[in-house]
Structures are given as structure tokens and as C-alpha cells.
């Protein structure tokens, strides 16, 4: 069993990382705007940037609600999961557009990249709709023994979340590397491909760690474990958004 954890301590550490990601993304958007280089990878990065301003305060509020006030905890959870999913998947959308941006419009890899982007967008809609619907129709998760409520581990949607999480991260890794060896690109574009590969690799590792923890009984049977579980989710979100 995971020992008791300081939720505030974890959140302060996570907030520093999240605000750093917000700052770097805001600077990137400003720089791209100033140099007139804004494109879809920048526009899609605005969505997770806005979602962060919902995700961060809710992460604090959820621990201030008394355990007896289940209704408020449930409402905050829905806001939290919507922000979580939006940051996660729209960061992937932005990364997908970054890959598409590397290839000239005439090349087929650019079209393949847009297909991946479309798949990511549809997956975000499907998973978010399914999770909210399932969690709303089956309310047994309202009575979990831990202070932090979590609906995802009680339904098949959890398997879908984990599977698509890892699948698209692997896809975002293998696609640019495969194309790197099959298409001759200028040196600066090759460096961009390697940068995208590195970013995708980090997000894949964070997704694997979070998925492993989410389905371990060690992290779901006590308040300390639930806090670590939630914070690992924050790290995954932060790793995706930070590397957009």
C-alpha cells in the first residue's frame, strides 16, 4: 500500500511544470505570430493552452471539497476529465500538424500525416463522449474508498483509453522516423523530424508509466495511491503539452 501523500506538495510541483509548459507555449505562439509563421500546429496548441487554465485550478479545488459532498466532487471530476482529455489529445493534434508541416504539400507523407491527425481528432471525440456517457449512467464510482474519485478504471473505456494512448504515441514516433529513412530531406528538416521523434518518445514513456500505475491495485486502494495515480496523470498531460 502506498503511504499517505501530501496532495498539496504534489500539486505545487506539478503546477510549476504546468506553468512552465504554459509559458513556453505562449512564447512560441508569440514568436510564431511575430515572425508570421503561424500554422495549424500553432492554432491547435491554443486549445490545450486554454484547457490548462481549467485543469490547474480544478486540480486544487478537488481536494478542498469535503468527502461528504460527493455531488460537488463528481462535478469537479467531469470538468477535470474534460480538461485532461482535451490537453492530452489536442497536444497530439498539434504534434501531428508539426509532422505534417515538415513535408512539402506534394509529398504523400503529408497526406498520411493528415490522416493520422484526423484519427486523433475522432478518437478524442469518441473517448470523451464515451467516458462521460458511461460515467453518467453507472454511478458506482461515486462510492470509491479514496478521496479522489476516478471513473476511468471501472469501465471498459479505461482499456480503450490506455490502448489508444499507447497506439497514437507509437504512431507519432514511428511515422516520422520511417519517413526520415525513406525520403531525402534537407538537414534542417531532418533535425525537425528527430525533434518530433524525441518528443513523441517522451510522451510514449509517460503514457506507459501512467497506464501501468492506473491499473495497479497498489495505486487504487488508498488515498496515497490515488494521489500518486492522479499526479502521474498530470505528468503525462504536462509531458504532452510541454513538448507541443
**Which span out of 46-55, 57-66, 150-159, 188-197 was modeled with the highest average pLDDT?**
46-55
Q: Percent of the chain having pLDDT more than 90?
A: 22
**pLDDT(30) > 70:** yes
At 3, is the pLDDT very low, low, confident or very high (cuts 50, 70, 90)?
low
Average pLDDT over residues 147-159: 67
- Most confident of the following: 12-26, 105-119, 196-210: 105-119
- Could you give all domains of the chain from N- to C-terminal order, each with its CATH number? 7-242 (1.20.1070)
Higher-scoring residue by pLDDT: 121, 8: 121
Is 196's pLDDT higher than 90?
no
Identify which has the larger pLDDT, 168 or 173: 168
- Better-scored residue on pLDDT, 151 or 242: 151
Q: What's residue 83's pLDDT? A: 92
How many Cα atoms sit within 13 Å of 208 on the Cβ side?
9
The pTM of the full predicted model, rounded to 2 decimals, is 0.81
Amino acid at each position: 500500500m502506498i503511504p499517505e501523500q501530501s496532495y498539496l506538495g504534489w500539486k505545487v510541483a506539478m503546477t510549476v511544470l504546468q506553468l512552465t509548459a504554459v509559458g513556453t507555449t505562449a512564447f512560441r505562439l508569440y514568436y510564431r505570430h511575430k515572425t508570421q509563421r503561424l500554422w495549424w500546429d500553432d492554432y491547435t496548441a491554443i486549445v490545450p493552452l486554454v484547457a490548462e487554465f481549467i485543469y490547474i485550478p480544478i486540480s486544487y479545488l478537488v481536494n478542498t471539497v469535503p468527502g461528504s459532498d460527493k455531488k460537488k466532487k463528481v462535478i469537479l471530476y467531469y470538468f477535470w476529465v474534460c480538461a485532461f482529455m482535451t490537453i492530452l489529445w489536442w497536444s497530439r493534434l498539434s504534434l501531428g500538424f508539426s509532422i505534417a508541416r515538415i513535408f512539402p504539400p506534394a509529398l504523400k507523407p503529408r497526406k498520411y500525416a493528415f490522416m493520422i491527425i484526423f484519427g486523433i481528432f475522432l478518437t478524442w471525440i469518441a473517448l470523451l463522449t464515451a467516458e462521460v456517457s458511461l460515467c453518467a449512467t453507472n454511478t458506482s464510482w461515486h462510492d470509491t474508498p479514496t478521496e479522489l474519485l476516478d471513473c476511468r478504471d471501472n469501465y471498459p473505456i479505461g482499456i480503450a483509453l490506455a490502448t489508444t494512448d499507447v497506439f497514437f504515441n507509437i504512431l507519432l514516433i514511428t511515422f516520422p522516423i520511417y519517413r526520415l529513412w525513406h525520403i531525402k530531406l534537407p538537414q534542417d528538416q531532418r533535425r525537425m523530424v528527430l525533434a518530433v521523434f524525441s518528443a513523441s518518445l517522451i510522451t510514449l514513456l509517460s503514457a506507459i508509466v501512467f497506464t501501468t500505475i492506473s491499473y495497479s491495485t497498489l495505486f487504487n486502494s488508498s488515498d496515497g495511491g490515488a494521489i500518486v495515480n492522479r499526479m502521474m496523470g498530470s505528468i503525462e498531460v504536462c509531458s504532452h503539452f510541454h513538448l507541443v
